[in-house]
Amino acid sequence: MIKNIVFDFGNVIGKFDPDYICGFYCDKENLETFKDIIFDKWADLDAGYIKYDDFKNEKIDRLPDNLKEAGENFFKDWYTHMPLLEETKELVRYFKAKGMRLFLLSNAPQFFADHIDHFKEGVESLEDMVFSGPLKMAKPDKEIYLYAMKKFNTKPEECLFLDDKAENVTAARLIGMNALVYKGEAQPVKEWYAVFG
């Protein structure tokens, strides 16, 4: 019986699109160069393997002179360009009305966790959150799922986990969670819940 819904953040609660985000900081002509440098080894930042300021400085050093100011601006507020997904807002309301406990398990750096209140409308119904960066572990490592289950005081088999990446969904299933690859549409999740919840 499903009692808990665990959401990822990027492309589940909020849109995480490097092209879209970078478009706020540089013109189309420089977009690919800017994006390729900024997002190179971003997973290491998410996992907390490198400090935010060190990551930022390394990227700005690598950027051509005409993009260094854009890089500085990016690292101040990139998270503000992650619009909330309307279908997920609907899912949050739907599951909250059914008395579910709602949680977040996200690969994200400490900097993002520090600014999560920017997304108040998207996360205010969530009871607790786990971010990878502060823990120095990340999905799909099973340890972060086990950590989340303990922190949330939940059993894996009583959880439905929604993530946009298939490898993270597979890892969740391996520890006993119910899990779906989320494509930004509420209806397939509701249909799954109607049958298996």
CATH code, domain carrying 139: 3.40.50.1000
| Cα distances (Å, whole numbers) of residue 83 to 16, 24, 107, 108, 169 | 8, 13, 17, 16, 23
Last residue of a domain, one of 44, 59, 81: 81
Nearest one of 103, 92, 115 to 177, comparing CA atoms: 103
pLDDT of residue 184: 96
Query: DSSP character for 4?
Result: E
CA torsion sign for 132, 138, 139, 142 is negative
109 in the same domain as 30: no
Average pLDDT over residues 113-124: 96
Query: To the nearest whole percent, how much of the chain has pLDDT over 90?
Result: 99
User: For the chain, what is the domain count?
Assistant: 2
Last residue of a domain, one of 81, 111, 126: 81
93 in the same domain as 62: no
86 in the same domain as 70: no
145 in the same domain as 94: yes
145 in the same domain as 120: yes
**Segments forming the whole domain that contains residue 38:** 18-81
Helix (H) or strand (E) holding 149: helix 142-152
93 in the same domain as 130: yes
> Band of the pLDDT at 152, cuts 50, 70, 90?
very high
99 in the same domain as 184: yes
58 in the same domain as 127: no
Q: Each residue of 18-28: pLDDT tens digit?
A: 999 999 999 99
Q: Each residue of 85-95: pLDDT tens digit?
A: 999 999 999 99
190 in the same domain as 177: yes
76 in the same domain as 165: no
133 in the same domain as 65: no
Alpha-carbon dihedral of residues 44, 47, 52, 54, nearest 10 degrees? -40
Last residue of a domain, one of 81, 104, 134: 81
Please name the residue ranges forming H helices in 79-183: 86-97, 110-114, 120-123, 132-135, 142-152, 166-174
Q: Each residue of 40-79: pLDDT tens digit?
A: 999 999 999 999 999 999 999 999 999 999 999 999 999 9
134 in the same domain as 88: yes
